[in-house]
Amino acid sequence: MAFYKRHNTGDLMSRITEDVSKVRTYLGPAVLYGINLVTLFVMVIYAMFSVSWELTLYSLAPLPILSLSIYYVSDLINKRSTVIQQQLAHLNSIAQEVYSGIRVVKSYVQERFMGKHFAQQSEVYKEKALRLAKVDAMFFPLMMLMIGASTVITVYIGGLQVVSGKITTGNIAEFVIYVNMLTWPVTSIGWIASIVQQAAASQRRINEFLQTEPDIKSPVHDPHPLQGNIVFDNVTFDYPDTGIRAMDKVSFSLRSGEKMAVIGRTGSGKSSMADLLVRMYDVSEGAILLDGKDVREMDLANLRQRIGYVPQDVFLFSDSVANNIAFGNPVATWSEIQSFARHAAVYDDIVDLSEGFETMVGERGVTLSGGQKQRLSIARALIKHPDIVILDDCLSAVDTNTEKMILGYLEEELASKTAIIITHRIYSLLQFDKIIVLEHGRIVEEGTHDELIEHGGYYADLFERQRSEDEVDAE
Output the pLDDT for position 365.
Answer: 67
Percent of the residues in the chain that have a pLDDT greater than 70, as a whole number: 93
Work out the angle between the directed axes of helices 169-181 and 139-163 (0-180°, nearest 10).
170
Sorted by where each starts, the structural domains of the chain and their CATH numbers stand as 2-210 (1.20.1560.10), 230-474 (3.40.50.300)
Supply the pTM of this predicted model.
0.70
- Give pLDDT tens digits for 332-365: 889 999 988 888 888 888 888 888 888 888 766 6
Among 247-256, 297-306, 386-395, the least confident range: 386-395
Which of the four pLDDT bands, split at 50, 70 and 90, describes residue 67?
Answer: low
CB proximity list for 163: less than 8 A, separation 6 or greater: none
33: confidence class by pLDDT, cuts 50, 70, 90:
confident
Res 125: pLDDT = 92
Encode pLDDT of 112-127 as tens digits: 888 899 999 999 999 9
> Distance from first CA to last CA of the chain, Å, rounded?
46
Q: What's the pLDDT tens digit per position in 186-196? A: 666 766 777 78
**Distance (Å, whole) CA 448 – CA 437:** 11
Model confidence at 451: pLDDT above 80: yes
Instruction: Return d(Cα 171, Cα 155) in angstroms, integer.
Output: 10
pLDDT-derived band at 76 (thresholds 50, 70, 90) equals confident
Of 68-82, 311-325, 412-426, give the lowest mean pLDDT range: 68-82
Rounded CA separation 250/259 (Å): 18
Which carries the bigger pLDDT value, residue 264 or residue 335?
Answer: 335
Contact 230, 289 (CB under 8 A): yes
Question: 260 vs 75, which has greater pLDDT?
Answer: 260
Rounded average pLDDT over 266-289: 88
Residue 53, judged by CB atoms within 10 A of its CB (0-12, 13-18, 19+), counts as exposed
Q: What average pLDDT does this structure show over 425-433? A: 75
- pLDDT band of 474, cuts 50, 70, 90: low
Over residues 53-82, mean pLDDT: 77
pLDDT at 126: 92
Mean pLDDT of the chain: 83
Three-state SS string over the chain comes to: CHHHHHCCHHHHHHHHHHHHHHHHHHHHHHHHHHHHHHHHHHHHHHHHHHHCHHHHHHHCCHHHHHHHHHHHHHHHHHHHHHHHHHHHHHHHHHHHHHHHCHHHHHHCCCHHHHHHHHHHHHHHHHHHHHHHHHHHHCHHHHHHHHHHHHHHHHHHHHHHHHHCCCCCHHHHHHHHHHHHHCHHHHHHHHHHHHHHHHHHHHHHHHHHHHCCCCCCCCCCCCCCCCCCCEEEEEEEEECCCCCCEEEEEEEEEECCCCEEEEEECCCCCHHHHHHHHCCCCCCCEEEEEECCEEHHHCCHHHHHHCEEEECCCCCCCCCEHHHHHHCCCCCCCHHHHHHHHHHCCCHHHHHCCCCHHHCECCHHHCCCCHHHHHHHHHHHHHCCCCCEEEEECCCCCCCHHHHHHHHHHHHHHCCCCEEEEEECCCCCCCCCCEEEEEECCEEEEEECHHHHHHHCCHHHHHHHHHHHHHHHHHC
Per the model's pLDDT, the better-predicted residue between 30 and 83 turns out to be 83
Question: Residue 473 above 60 pLDDT?
Answer: no
pLDDT given at position 364: 64
